[in-house]
Structure 1
């Protein structure tokens, strides 16, 4: 089943890693940034990593160092420990997906990126996908999942067929994606897994939106989102190709 992307994802700008602003003590993927997005009326994009005890955590990096006052891999810590690790420029710990779903509660669209757990965009062990599917089984509200790793989304097609699925896609310049092999970059650039994973959308790299493959998928019925827009000028350009944007660093205009 190819679950359609809820219509709200095509009309409401999507706050990248929630409506974050570290100067305002709203770090990315934090509760404060999520609350700010809800208050502003934006859709929200979040990222998932897996804890040592197989709990879906709302966090972007696989390593703790950039975003917290700790170091090491997320995967080496339990959910309880991660909840006690403070985000930089915040008194908050790392939230679980459970906590975020309860906070959002269907009030705005929620776009969930399942981060690659393999390092090579290869077949996964399914643990993060299983945790995600279990959390979403009874969630009520506009929600969709996506990943750069097509194997993760193919798994979601079987685990949670009712949830809209998409691929996070890119020009895959090997210089930007090391240590991902150049051949893997070439393979992923062609977006070959869209139909295999029964997707209904892509979220494509903004600088590459004019790629013929993007237009081809759109002509076949795919919804086109994009990442990451950082100014009103860039938004205006992106909207020539994409139906909606994922943004950060400015206040995107909401629909009238």
Structure 2
């Protein structure tokens, strides 16, 4: 089964890590950034990491240091502790996925990126995917899941067969990725699209001209992209991509 994206994912610009701006008290993936995105009518792209007690926490990095007033691994702390860990540039703690879903409540589309928990895009995954699936059991709004790790996407196909799923994809320059050259070469070809029964990719905007992207689009895949940082870059990306994930400016609403 290959569930398709709700059409709203192709018509509503997606705020990268929500509509964040620390100069206005809206850290990445925070409730404040989520609320701002909703107020502007944007869709929301968020990231999830795993806590020590297997909760899905809405946070981008593996370590706390850059984004929170703490240091060390997210995965080493209990969800209750993370909830009390203040985000830099704001006044709130790290939210859980159920909290964010309750806040959005179907008002705008939510695109959930499941961060690779294996460390090398391998098969050592499972608890985070299960936590995401549990959080989505009763969610009724437009939602989709994606990951750079194809094994994660395949697991979501088993856990949530009715929820649209996609691959986050890239040109995988070995100089920019903490992965082996062989892994980069394998993932660059996007070989797992059909195996995981994906219906979309979110591809690196700088690499949208890759022939494989055109091939997938011609075969019916929806093409999203990341991360757009100006109206000019958005206009260029939209020559190929059907929608953009943006930050640093206010994307126009098509139509």
TM-score bracket, shorter-length normalisation? over 0.9
SS at match of 1:225: strand
| Aligned ranges 1:104-119 → 2 under 5 Å | 104-119=104-119
Q: Partners in 2 of 1:28 and 1:69 — Cα distance?
A: 13
Number of matched pairs: 255
Residue 76 of structure 2 corresponds to residue 76 of structure 1: yes
| Gap runs ≥5 in structure 1 | none
Q: Is the 8 A contact 1:55 1:96 kept in 2?
A: yes
| Aligned ranges 1:116-195 → 2 under 5 Å | 116-178=116-178, 180-195=179-194
Instruction: Give the C-alpha shift of residue 125 in structure 1.
Output: 3.1
Q: Partners in 1 of 2:213 and 2:138 — Cα distance?
A: 33
Q: Partners in 1 of 2:147 and 2:6 — Cα distance?
A: 17
Encode CA deviations 1:166-203: one digit per residue, 9 max, x unaligned. 0000000000002x101100000000010111000000
Encode CA deviations 1:76-104: one digit per residue, 9 max, x unaligned. 00000000000001110000001000000
Q: Is the 8 A contact 2:4 2:164 kept in 1?
A: yes
TM-score computed with the length of structure 2 as normaliser: 0.99
TM-score computed with the length of structure 1 as normaliser: 0.99
What residue is the counterpart of 1:232 in the other structure? 231
Q: Partners in 2 of 1:202 and 1:173 — Cα distance?
A: 18
Instruction: Give the C-alpha shift of residue 119 in structure 1.
Output: 1.0
Q: Is the 8 A contact 1:124 1:152 kept in 2?
A: no
| Gap runs ≥5 in structure 2 | none
Q: Partners in 2 of 1:255 and 1:125 — Cα distance?
A: 37
SS at match of 2:254: coil
| Aligned ranges 1:1-256 → 2 under 5 Å | 1-178=1-178, 180-256=179-255
Encode CA deviations 1:99-152: one digit per residue, 9 max, x unaligned. 000000000000000000111000133100001011101100110000000000
Q: List 4+ stretches of structure 1 deviating above 3 A.
A: none
Q: Is the 8 A contact 1:154 1:197 kept in 2?
A: yes
| RMSD of equivalent CA atoms | 0.5
Instruction: Give the C-alpha shift of residue 255 in structure 1.
Output: 2.5
SS at match of 1:245: strand
Q: Is the 8 A contact 2:125 2:151 kept in 1?
A: no
